[in-house]
Structure 1
Amino acid sequence: MVMNLVKGILLTARDIVPISLFLIVFQVFILKSPIGDIKSLIFGIALSILGLYLFIKGLEYGLMPLGSSVGANLPLLNNKALIIIFAFILGYTTTLAEPALASLAMEIEELSVGTMNNRWLIHAVALGVGIGISLGMVKIMYKIPYTHIIIPMVLLAAILAYFAPDNITGIAFDSGGVTTGPVTVPLNMALAIGLSSVIGGSDPLIQGFGIIGLASITPIITVLLLGIIVRF
């Protein structure tokens, strides 16, 4: 047990330490700027290593098995409409928990001098993710080819981007990116794979993946629509 713990922490450190060393070397020798509080820096890196290790283990033992189990048992509802509604609620609520989205929304509200309320943006993105996850469930249950859904979504986003105000377009596409966070991705992907694995004639490699892509493109559409409505 202890050996596995040490091994896991060392493997996590292997990912974080090289990045930290690169930044330190770049600042000291290229930017020629001294490092501030060395002790705080080392302590912060150590906390990052431990925190990332604990988070990964939390996903491994908690969120991912739970999402997969729920997905595998969804057919017991015997009601496709309820499954779609459940997927929407899950996508919506997990997005509200994304820290990256909250940070992005606060930055936008500050730069726009309050023109766009950060709660509007957060709920617009959450709405988009909910729609995207719901479309993913529809794709899995009805075995719809992925391209038949994603191509119209991309075309719709391109059309809306043409009509949306210039200063909302970049925000919309960045909003789609922040949905691929540590809460949304593992839970919703496990849900999709769990559902696709129990549906007869469904290949989890074909139907189970792609849901995160849908959850990334639909928020772009909803934020572009928000920009058109409020003329940010």
Structure 2
Amino acid sequence: MQKIKGIVREVIYSVLPITVFVSILQILLHVSGEDFLQFMVGVILITAGLILFLLGVNLGLLPVGEAIGSALPKTGKLWMIIISVFLVGFVVTVADPNVRVLATQLDVVSGGAVPKSLLIVTVSLGAAIYVGLAILRIIVGIPIKYLFLASYCLVFLLAAFTPKVFIPISLDSGWATTGPMLVPFILALGLGVASVLRSGNASDEGFGLIGLASIGPTLAVLILGVVYG
């Protein structure tokens, strides 16, 4: 019960400032009463949705992700760990609402030139590959700075050969993967793996998981741009 109260309080503190600010703007701009009512209904629905979602994350996603992350290393098979993490990363990214919103908007803006389904698959593949790479880093003990350096060198290199329209799309794709589905699950998965395989602080070993995961979609969309170009 205490956890539920904490989540409700956290959501209210997050939603209330923007609600007050937008309400004041609507009053100053003399927005119609119907539009204001629609806004308030939206605020109520968002608040309820966030509360239910965060409850689901705490009750389901986080424990399951950490349990899977703890169980996989005990198999002793590196290929099974990487394939399992890749599949989980792909499925979770496909289900992430941020990715679907981005793909829908780009499909509309581009007039279908960048199909929604293609972008979702591309972003999800990029995220899944880099989630697997991030877990492999924890297992092998590769310094994260080298992965970031090599990855961003690839980003700049591909950006030079990609049509300009794909560059902002790729950056937005990286941001879209830091959504409510991928972040909690992958963090829990990484912490579970780190707690079993690494003798140091699991939180330190899991540091940078989301940063690496967000580079994958950026690179994937840039490669898609090279192919389209």
One-letter code aligned to 1:177: W
Distance 1:118 1:203, change over 3 A: same
SS in 2 for 1:36: helix
Shift of 1:200: 3.9
Shift of 1:47: 2.6
> What's 2:81 paired with?
83
1:81-100 deviation digits (Å, cap 9, x = unpaired) = 11011111111111110112
Shift of 1:9: 2.5
Are the equivalent residues in 2 in contact too, given 1:196–1:208 (CA < 8 A)? yes
Question: Aligned equivalents of 1:7 and 1:142: distance in 2?
Answer: 38
Shift of 1:40: 4.2
1:132-187 deviation digits (Å, cap 9, x = unpaired) = 10101110101111101111001100110111000110001100100011110100
For the pair 1:115 / 2:136, whether they are aligned, the reply is: no
One-letter code aligned to 1:138: L
Q: TM-score, normalised by structure 1?
A: 0.92
Question: Aligned equivalents of 1:14 and 1:130: distance in 2?
Answer: 33
One-letter code aligned to 2:114: M
Are the equivalent residues in 2 in contact too, given 1:143–1:202 (CA < 8 A)? no
Return 115-124 or 38-47, whichever deviates more.
Answer: 38-47
Are the equivalent residues in 2 in contact too, given 1:127–1:219 (CA < 8 A)? yes
One-letter code aligned to 2:89: G
Aligned residue pairs total 229
> What's 1:137 paired with?
135
Shift of 1:32: 3.7
> What's 2:98 paired with?
100
Question: Aligned equivalents of 2:31 and 2:37: distance in 1?
Answer: 17
Identity %: 34
1:26-84 deviation digits (Å, cap 9, x = unpaired) = 2221x343342554443332232222122112111110011011101111211011101
> What's 2:227 paired with?
229
Q: TM-score, normalised by structure 2?
A: 0.93
> What's 2:193 paired with?
195
Return 193-202 or 128-137, whichever deviates more.
Answer: 193-202
Distance 1:6 1:35, change over 3 A: farther
> What's 2:124 paired with?
126
Q: Map 1:13-24; keep pairs closer than 5 Å.
A: 13-24=12-23
Question: Aligned equivalents of 2:206 and 2:88: distance in 1?
Answer: 17
Distance 1:36 1:9, change over 3 A: same
SS in 2 for 1:116: coil
SS in 1 for 2:121: helix
SS in 2 for 1:163: coil
Structure 2: unaligned runs, 5 residues or longer: none
Are the equivalent residues in 1 in contact too, given 2:67–2:189 (CA < 8 A)? yes
Return 156-165 or 35-44, whichever deviates more.
Answer: 35-44
Question: Aligned equivalents of 1:196 and 1:88: distance in 2?
Answer: 17
Structural RMSD (CA):
1.8
> What's 1:159 paired with?
157
Distance 1:8 1:226, change over 3 A: closer
1:14-33 deviation digits (Å, cap 9, x = unpaired) = 2212210101102221x343
> What's 2:146 paired with?
148
Shift of 1:195: 0.6
For the pair 1:68 / 2:66, whether they are aligned, the reply is: yes
Question: Aligned equivalents of 1:117 and 1:98: distance in 2?
Answer: 17
One-letter code aligned to 1:181: G
Distance 1:176 1:201, change over 3 A: same
